[in-house]
Amino acid sequence: MTDQTRPLRVAIVGAGPAGIYAADALIKSDHNVSGPGVSIDLFERMPAPFGLIRYGVAPDHPRIKGIITALHKVLDKPQVRLLGNIDYGTDITLDDLRTYYDAVIFSTGANADRDLNIPGIDLNGSYGAADFVSWYDGHPDVPRTWPLDAEKVAVLGVGNVALDVARVLAKTGDELLPTEIPANVYQGLKANKALEVHVFGRRGPAQAKFTPLELRELDHSPNIEVIVNPEDIDYDEGSEAARRASKQVDMVANTLQDWAIRDIGTRPHKLFLHFFESPTEILGDNGNVTGLRTERTELDGTGNVRGTGKYNDWNVTAVYRAVGYLSQNISQLPFDDQAGTIPNEAGRVLASSGHPAGSTPAASSTATYIPATYVTGWIKRGPVGLIGHTKGDANETVANLLEDAPTFQGATEPDEAAVVKFLEDKHVPFTTWDGWYRLDAHERSLGEEEGRERIKVVERHDMTEISRTVLNRIEPPFITTNTGSSS
């Protein structure tokens, strides 16, 4: 049983929004009012925190990146400690975590591309959106260059990620230079040859997954002409019902309608939004993409579509699939390959994959859980919804964790210094929250030299060294719970 005279020790694996929201929920929980509180360590694979915000949001979206301000306040709290540059499964395992913590929450998100099983998907020039996003966001674990030779490009998908990819491809490098993109990304985008970007959705305007603001932002660039075919504006009974039920769906539909009836302007880069076109094959020659084949679809009355048997070939030489993210398997835990989630019930990890995330076992009392092990965010429910939706996930998971807390076996070495000694002994060059302050200051100083807010450091070694260096010396590995200072 957990020692009730000391703080509840919780490890959170993943320091993106989902993990930080879980830490915030733990701190705010009723458990901390009457009990000794919580002590939380956030383990992050990257040398820097913030996950999707830093490495999954387009650089020209400072509004979304502003969420970092709220997340920053949580990481400043004395109950929270950041341990970065630590690879779960290699540097530390679940068995190790059980030694030092009473409970573990996994919030590892989703950073891989979901498969699209159509002929030609493996041709040169066929890319996953997640890989491209990682490149333009300066992720340290991807190549420093990206092939941008295609003048005509296809993007498959009608969600916000598809819009981000299409917008970045259609903008000029100079348009994106004021953002935080590093030099290698700017040079790549400056040499980008794309003049036409075609976005394809297999259903209609009322079924698009764009948010209204994201969609309208496409039209703000002086270099991008957004074009919608009037023939693609079509609604059936199911579509009209969706518009009546959701103000956002109606706003998206209205925006697309307005664009479909306006005259085409003279902006140099064309961005076409195509609906009712279902990708069936990526065409190729000599191993390279030479086109895209789609089947024209039509509404069936319910908001779904059926094929018409009519096919169109599109002259493109690069294809980006933005059909969804996929979480990766986590060692020592069950995994639902189809859903891309850890099987769970309301955040409690199930001992087998018998009940996928989001489902309710026939008899909840018969469900078998892995003790003191929880999930939150996209690894819990799949990569759907906006960043803010993970707050609800975190609250649900944390409520169940606290309900279970009296039954925890408890950490055998709960002292905060014990896990740090473990990492020291393994010679893991981990980073800290104070280290983030140093990296943050360094990136801002790089930006200041060019009149920009920030220039992102890309190389993992450089990020780690900057984070761990204080007054020309390497920071001692041992750290204590942070106090929110920026030493």
- Residue 46 · residue 111 · CB < 8 Å: no
Tens-of-pLDDT digits for all 487 residues of the chain? 667 789 999 999 999 999 999 999 999 985 554 568 999 999 999 999 999 999 999 999 877 777 889 999 999 999 999 999 999 999 999 999 999 999 999 999 988 888 999 999 999 999 999 999 999 999 999 999 999 999 999 999 999 999 999 999 999 999 999 999 999 999 999 999 999 999 999 999 999 999 999 999 999 999 999 999 999 999 999 999 999 999 999 999 999 999 999 999 999 999 999 999 999 999 999 999 999 999 999 999 999 999 999 999 999 999 999 998 888 888 899 999 888 899 999 999 999 754 444 444 433 446 799 999 999 999 998 887 677 778 889 999 999 999 999 999 999 999 999 999 999 999 999 999 999 999 999 999 999 999 999 999 999 999 999 999 875 455 544 443 443 333 2
Backbone angles phi, psi at 273, to 5 degrees: -105, 110
The binding site for NADP(+) comprises 202-203, 214, 385
The binding site for FAD comprises 18, 44, 52, 378, 385-387
Token duo for residue 481: 């719970």
C-alpha gyration radius of the chain: 24
Token duo for residue 80: 């929270």
- Residue 138 · residue 156 · CB < 8 Å: no
Q: In degrees, to the nearest 5, what angle opens at C-alpha 279 toward C-alphas 274 and 284?
A: 115
Q: CA–CA separation, 309 vs 296, rounded Å?
A: 7
Burial grade of 37 (CB within 10 A; 0-12, 13-18, 19 or more): middle
Entry pTM? 0.90
Domains present along the chain, CATH in parentheses: 8-111+327-474 (3.40.50.720), 112-324 (3.50.50.60)
Identify which of 29, 32, 54 has the alpha carbon closest to the alpha carbon of residue 44: 54
Burial grade of 196 (CB within 10 A; 0-12, 13-18, 19 or more): buried
Beta bridge partners of 469: 474
C-alpha to C-alpha distances, 388 to 20, 65, 67, 129, nearest whole angstrom: 12, 12, 9, 22
The amino acid sitting at 211 is T
Residue 76 DSSP label: T
The binding site comprises 18, 44, 52, 202-203, 214, 378, 385-387
